Amino acid sequence: MASGEEPTLVAFAAGRLVARGTPAEVALTLKRLTDEGDPGALLVFDAKTSRPFELDLRGSEDLVAWRHGPPARAAVADPGAKKVRAVAGEVRLLGRHWSWLAEQPGGASATLRRLVEAARRDPTGEVARRHSQESAYRFMSVIAGDEVGFEEATRALFAGDVPHFEAHTKTWPPDVRQHTRELASAALADGAEKAD
């Protein structure tokens, strides 16, 4: 997600998907649901990472929408503002790593930037597969940990075993099953190709 970009959220109540959208959209939907009655436990996740997301539903709908809306942007962009921002960080490497970096064209900083960009492109799909596994597992653990077949589905997810993953998630609530399979799609892509 680009800096400043709003996440897409998903909200579940009793195993049902009740909202999907920006934080403000989901917060307003949940505010209306809770104002109409007790929808039960509400679980809100970042739709991509499955990290829990907290929403504050107190106050009027206008206040809830304002609270969860995008941050105010400057009306006019500063034409003199730099387009590239450097963020200081600490990199700990062994001496042999620093020696190798120093020998590379452009020096250590340029080499590190090239390595990071290459990893971000992820030509093998390994990073995407790992993120898919982690996100699916994070979501499953919270919302489907008590479902029949959870442990078997988890093993199948990390093994890339599509038939077993689908078999062990088959009896889960439809919205939970659908979202779990969406999250796991990149993790299971190789298994799906082998199964065909």
Q: What does pTM read for this prediction?
A: 0.72
Decide if pLDDT at 187 tops 60.
yes
Percent of the chain clearing pLDDT 70 (strictly above): 84
pLDDT of residue 121: 75
* Three-class HEC string of the chain: CCCCCCCCEEEEECCEEEEEECHHHHHHHHHHHHHHCCCCCEEEEECCCCCECCCCCCCCHHHHHHHHCCCCCCCCCCCCCCCCCCCCCCCCCCHHHHHHHHHCCCHHHHHHHHHHHHHHHCCCCHHHHHHHHHHHHHHHHHHCCCCCCHHHHHHHHHHCCHHHHHHHHCCCCHHHHHHHHHHHCCCCHHHHHHHC
How far apart CA 157 and CA 146 sit, in angstroms, is 17
pLDDT of residue 34: 94
pLDDT of residue 14: 92
Q: For residue 168, with 0-12 CB atoms within 10 Å meaning exposed, 13-18 middle and 19 or more buried, which class applies? A: buried
pLDDT of residue 99: 82
Of 160, 158, 161, 178, the residue nearest 170 (C-alpha)? 178
- Residue range 41-68, pLDDT digits in tens: 899 999 999 999 999 999 999 999 999 9
- Residue range 103-113, pLDDT digits in tens: 888 888 888 88
Decide if pLDDT at 80 tops 60.
no
